[in-house]
Structure 1
Amino acid sequence: MVNEAVRLQAVRKDYGRVTALDGVDLAFPQGGFTAVMGPSGSGKSTFLHCAAGLDRPTSGTVHLDGQELSALSETRLTKLRRDRVGFVFQAFNLLPSLTVAQNVVLPLRLAGRRVEGKLVARMLAHVGLSERRRHLPGELSGGQQQRVAIARALVTRPAVLFADEPTGALDTRTAAEVLALLRESVRGGLTVVMVTHDPVAAAHADRVVFLADGRVAGELARPTPGAVAERMTHLGAWAGASAVGA
């Protein structure tokens, strides 16, 4: 049996009278790369927030790195996110006054952990920025800044990296380089869960999970851009038929 890095069971999330997630059951294997897609309002962001422990579901359970999140205090949950979870967003969220190397080690410093020079050098080499360690973010291209953000997410050696539209602000060629970097990290044993709207980006994953109206609307293994795009065009019809049959 494949070990699971993340599992959601019967997860529901309500915001007042609005149901953002409606009984989601999903598992993400260790060392896997999964893309999550769906139309606007399908629950993708809410799913990511609940799966990563940034928000608590209304009901259901989330297991992350072997721990049930609902059983953790806010202090323990914060520590789990800090130590075992990495985040990469469309906005790079780098501190403009810090160098590349200083941005990368920031999570370690905030956690009071010792900064190992060899680890920092390895992270910068992994993202191809060894020669840019003393540069400020404003001196880098968008793709280089996103690679700094990935190195920062990986420096704590997390169990899972959650990426929310990581290529949304990048051109096609640069986006492909960033996705190849995530793919390489998965080969090293990292689990990546990526929310995206882009079928080409999703095709870099091992599988694609589709959401519609807060529910799982199917999966696609070994995805291609064409197959992903075709499936996306049918999600509206799926959601409508599901609502009629409910």
Structure 2
Amino acid sequence: MTTPIQLHEVRKSYGSGPAAVTALAGLSIAFPAGSFTAVMGPSGSGKSTLLHCAAGLDEPTSGTVSLVGRSLAGMSENDLTLLRRDHVAFVFQAFNLMPALTVRENVMLPALLAGRRSDPARVSEVIRRVGLEERATHRPGELSGGQQQRVAIARALASDASVLFADEPTGALDSHTAAEVLTLIRDLADKGQTIVMVTHDPVAASYADNVVFLLDGRFVAEIATPTAAEVAERLAHLGSLAGNSASRGQR
């Protein structure tokens, strides 16, 4: 599977008539297997909508989306759920942990829901890798925000999913913890997982192989092997373009 995520001429609009808002405007993009791509752009550029459409969490108004070799067009919600369960992991700013379960139980939960038996040694290993070995029996309410995010990362590590979608995974973390989390995500890519990460942070984006930039729902630029400085400069330029566009729209 060389290209597990593909979007072709994807449009996504919300509302209808004069009040309709276009979030994606005929976007075509592909994410190769084993790649780590950061998606960036000014506020309202369509970043999260791209991720949600690619993951089958939101249905495009038109265009096609393929995920792990399967077209999402016409798939039932149940089939989409099964596809994501078997092939996709998520790390969001909202950690989505079960408060009544321990760290270890939260990490094991996706396998349990899929009817698979977790490998206890692997679960212990991923918990160790995220630095929570001594917290394995604690519940989310007993952890800091950074520790909860590490549980979410451990859950993604343990899932063996071929695709990981991350939406602002370090947005609520201090810089030290964010660096640890991004190193773990980078490690997943190095082991062959395909990662698409929405972020506003140039430092976070510098961990990726490639950064793609959106403006007004369109793909407008890309940087390979990015540095934080390069990303920040390009983002500032796009922000000024977005501001000029908004000003013209108000005249």
Confirm or deny a common fold (TM above 0.5): yes
| Distance of 1:36 and 1:21 partners within structure 2 | 13
Which stretch shifts more, 195-204 or 103-112?
103-112
Task: List structure 1 segments (4+ residues) > 6 angstroms apart after TM superposition.
Answer: none
| Distance of 1:26 and 1:145 partners within structure 2 | 32
Amino acid at match of 2:5: V
| Distance of 1:213 and 1:126 partners within structure 2 | 39
TM-superposition CA deviations, 1:168-215 (whole Å, max 9, x none): 000111101100110111111111110001111111111101011111
| Cα drift, residue 98 of structure 1 | 1.2
2:68 aligns to what?
65
2:218 aligns to what?
215
Q: Once the two structures are aligned, what percentage of the paired residues are identical?
A: 64
SS state at 1:179 partner:
helix
Q: Which runs of 5+ in 2 are unaligned?
A: none
Amino acid at match of 1:58: T
Aligned equivalent of 2:204, options 186, 201, 206: 201
| Distance of 1:30 and 1:129 partners within structure 2 | 29
Q: Number of paired residues? A: 242
| Cα drift, residue 238 of structure 1 | 4.5
Amino acid at match of 2:12: K
| Cα drift, residue 237 of structure 1 | 4.7
SS state at 1:9 partner:
strand
| Distance of 1:103 and 1:94 partners within structure 2 | 6
1:135 aligns to what?
138
1:79 aligns to what?
82
Q: Is the 8 A contact 1:217 1:235 kept in 2?
A: no
1:1-246 to 2 correspondences below 5 Å: 3-16=2-15, 17-238=20-241, 240=245
Which stretch shifts more, 183-192 or 118-127?
118-127
| Distance of 2:144 and 2:240 partners within structure 1 | 40
| Cα drift, residue 146 of structure 1 | 0.8
SS state at 1:121 partner:
helix
Which stretch shifts more, 181-190 or 152-161?
152-161
Amino acid at match of 1:8: L
